[in-house]
Amino acid sequence: MSQPLPSLEVCLSPALLHLFHTKNTITVIIDVFRATSTIVAALDNGATKVIPVSTVEECIALGKAIPNSITAGERDGKVADGLQYGNSPSEYPVSFVKGRSLVLTTTNGTRLLHMVNEASEIITGSFPNLTAVCDFLVQQNKNVLLACASWKDRFNLEDALFAGAVAQKVAEHFTINCDSARACMSLDSDAKGNYFEYLKRGAHYKRLSGYGLESDMIYCTTPDIHPVVPILKGNELLIHS
Amino acid sequence: MSQPLPSLEVCLSPALLHLFHTKNTITVIIDVFRATSTIVAALDNGATKVIPVSTVEECIALGKAIPNSITAGERDGKVADGLQYGNSPSEYPVSFVKGRSLVLTTTNGTRLLHMVNEASEIITGSFPNLTAVCDFLVQQNKNVLLACASWKDRFNLEDALFAGAVAQKVAEHFTINCDSARACMSLDSDAKGNYFEYLKRGAHYKRLSGYGLESDMIYCTTPDIHPVVPILKGNELLIHS
């Protein structure tokens, strides 16, 4: 008899995380606009590691302690006081980040990352590493939880759309008995591969384009431009090899 | 200048309800499988009122206190001990319910109904009264929250699909700056009007068809067979007139 397929589930908000098993599960942290897009951009462009932290204070302290580091993070769409750089993936080209450590504070993504600490592996996903994430999940052959960072616990369209794109691509390798996953797959069907266009109907499009960040959103929704998998080791995100 | 349109939002789970304003808002309680389908069937078939209660004990006590009443409710797909009838809409034809009061205990739907007690009006919705609900919302011209009862706080596909069907039909009359609503509208697009077929991918289809309740699900997903709006007055659901 063949082995049953591992399960794939989607958690639409950190406020629902208690309803899911994260133990012995690969958890994919999804924060498309923009934390998990920026993380994969920095690592693929040569950063030695990304250290996600919750507060600006921690970010400043770690930045002082770690040689050749960059401190980054935004609050309300602006570089936070005391930090050097923002949360835009395009701020981290090879010429800038190669060989350096990025200490990044984000609100939603980092919080979720710390909430799932029982997971067997924690990786991060966004459109720039869509296929790399899918390939990793299929190879591992374990239960998967796609965990949307959302926006202050409110469901958001971009994280759910990415979860749907992953679920759709790996569906034949998993048992999907999770209505959230099925709903996300409908988002993916409705988007027909035009992720950025689809997300123009979302609340974040309005907020971020108000900050002049439309080009960031195009970057964050472009598939497979950074085909690597950031994986958490201790408190550091590194490229899975 | 024209008045701004009222807002329409969707709450995907009672565990997310704290993120929404329910005050001065029309709240639509959605529990497609099967509470809000059964409620509208009973009222449209002539029940004088439906009294939703949380526990089997309350249901029995009220049933004794109210003349000509029926006590009903299920736990795990079976009529609960001490009650007379179940939670199937087809159990309440005109010949049975006309002129009687239905005291109904449900887990998810009733709990949510008691959570939104600040709303200006509370109505119930499901596919059997889809168009009636839409017409009511457009006429009222107030902010709307479509509140999915879900299943023990877990997102479910059928309530979200109904929310999407409503949002799609009334979209031009409301401002929809809510990602949950947008996602539900994608479910409705993906379903292409074949609600029952679409929901075969959902977890509830598997659970309820395991109890032999496929015909109930067909009933609950058939649009506009009970074109009335149940509205909460005190602790009683009555037909809005």
**pLDDT given at position A118:** 83
**pLDDT given at position A1:** 55
**pLDDT given at position B1:** 55
* A200 CB neighbour count, 10 Å cutoff: 13
Chain A residues close to B186, C-beta within 8 Å? 186-187, 189-190
Residue A192 C-beta-side C-alpha neighbours within 13 Å:
4
**pLDDT given at position B109:** 83
* A37 CB neighbour count, 10 Å cutoff: 31
Q: Which residues of chain A have pLDDT under 50?
A: none
Measuring CA to CA, which residue among A168, A109, A177 is closest to residue A143?
A177
Asked if A153 lies within 8 A of B19 by C-beta distance, the reply is yes
Q: What share of chain B is helix, strand, coil (3-state, %, to 5)?
A: 45, 20, 35
CA-CA distance, A117 to B157, in Å (whole number)?
28
Question: If you average pLDDT over residues B23-50, what whole number do you get?
Answer: 96
pLDDT tens profile B144-197: 999 999 989 999 999 999 999 999 999 999 999 999 999 999 999 999 999 999
CA-CA distance, B131 to A97, in Å (whole number)?
56
pLDDT tens profile A74-116: 887 789 999 999 999 999 999 999 999 999 998 888 888 888 8
Are the CB atoms for B162 and B199 separated by under 8 Å?
no
**pLDDT given at position A235:** 93
CA-CA distance, B105 to B97, in Å (whole number)?
16
Asked if A179 lies within 8 A of B186 by C-beta distance, the reply is no
**pLDDT given at position A17:** 96
Please tell me the distance in Å from B173's CA to the nearest CA on chain A.
17
Asked if B154 lies within 8 A of A19 by C-beta distance, the reply is yes
Residues of B with CB under 8 A from a CB of A: 12-13, 15-16, 19, 152-157, 160, 177-180, 182-183, 186-187, 189-190, 201-204, 206
Stated pTM of the model: 0.96
* A7 CB neighbour count, 10 Å cutoff: 17
Task: Closest CB to A203: pick one of B19, B179, B202.
Answer: B179
pLDDT tens profile B123-146: 999 999 999 999 999 999 999 999
Task: Closest CB to A13: pick one of B16, B156, B206.
Answer: B16
What is A8-239's CATH number? Answer: 3.90.1560.10
Chain B residues close to A154, C-beta within 8 Å? 16, 19, 179-180
**pLDDT given at position A90:** 95
Whole-number mean pLDDT of chain B? 95
Chain A residues close to B13, C-beta within 8 Å? 16
Please tell me the distance in Å from A241's CA to the nearest CA on chain B.
35
CA-CA distance, B2 to A234, in Å (whole number)?
56
What residues contact A35, with CB distance under 8 A and at least 6 apart?
Answer: A52, A87, A104, A106, A108, A109, A110, A124, A149
**pLDDT given at position A196:** 98
CB pairs under 8 A between A and B: 74
**pLDDT given at position A88:** 94
**pLDDT given at position A44:** 98
Measuring CA to CA, which residue among B58, B157, B154, B171 is closest to residue B105?
B58
**pLDDT given at position B182:** 98
What are the DSSP calls for A16-46, one per residue? GGGGS--TTSEEEEE-TTTHHHHHHHHHHTT
Token pair listed for A136: 């990793």
What residues contact A89, with CB distance under 8 A and at least 6 apart?
Answer: A34, A37, A38, A40, A41, A42, A128, A216, A219, A220
Question: If you average pLDDT over residues B17-29, what whole number do you get?
Answer: 94
What is B8-233's CATH number? Answer: 3.90.1560.10
Q: Is A202 helix (H, G, I), strand (E, B) or coil?
A: coil
Residue A210 identity (one-letter amino acid): G
pLDDT tens profile B54-104: 999 999 999 999 999 999 998 877 899 999 999 999 999 999 999 999 999
Measuring CA to CA, which residue among B195, B113, B180, B217 is closest to residue A16?
B180
Residue A146 identity (one-letter amino acid): L
What residues contact A102, with CB distance under 8 A and at least 6 apart?
Answer: A39, A42, A47, A49, A50, A51, A69, A70, A72, A92
Chain B residues close to A157, C-beta within 8 Å? 179, 182-183
- Which ranges constitute the DSSP H helices of B23-178? 35-44, 56-65, 94-97, 108-115, 130-140, 157-170
**pLDDT given at position A207:** 87
What residues contact A205, with CB distance under 8 A and at least 6 apart?
Answer: A199, A217
Beta strands B78-79 and B69-75, pairing class: antiparallel
Q: Hey, of A30, A151, A155, A175, which one would you mutate to test binding to chain B, going by the most B CBs within 10 A of its CB?
A: A155
**pLDDT given at position B133:** 98
Q: What is the greatest pairwise CA distance in chain A?
A: 60
Question: Phi then psi for A239, rounded to 5 degrees?
Answer: -80, 130
**pLDDT given at position A102:** 98
Residue A131 identity (one-letter amino acid): T
Token pair listed for A176: 């999907």
Provide the b/e sequence for B114-123 (b: ≥16 CB within 10 Å).
ebbeebebbb
Are the CB atoms for B16 and A155 separated by under 8 Å?
yes
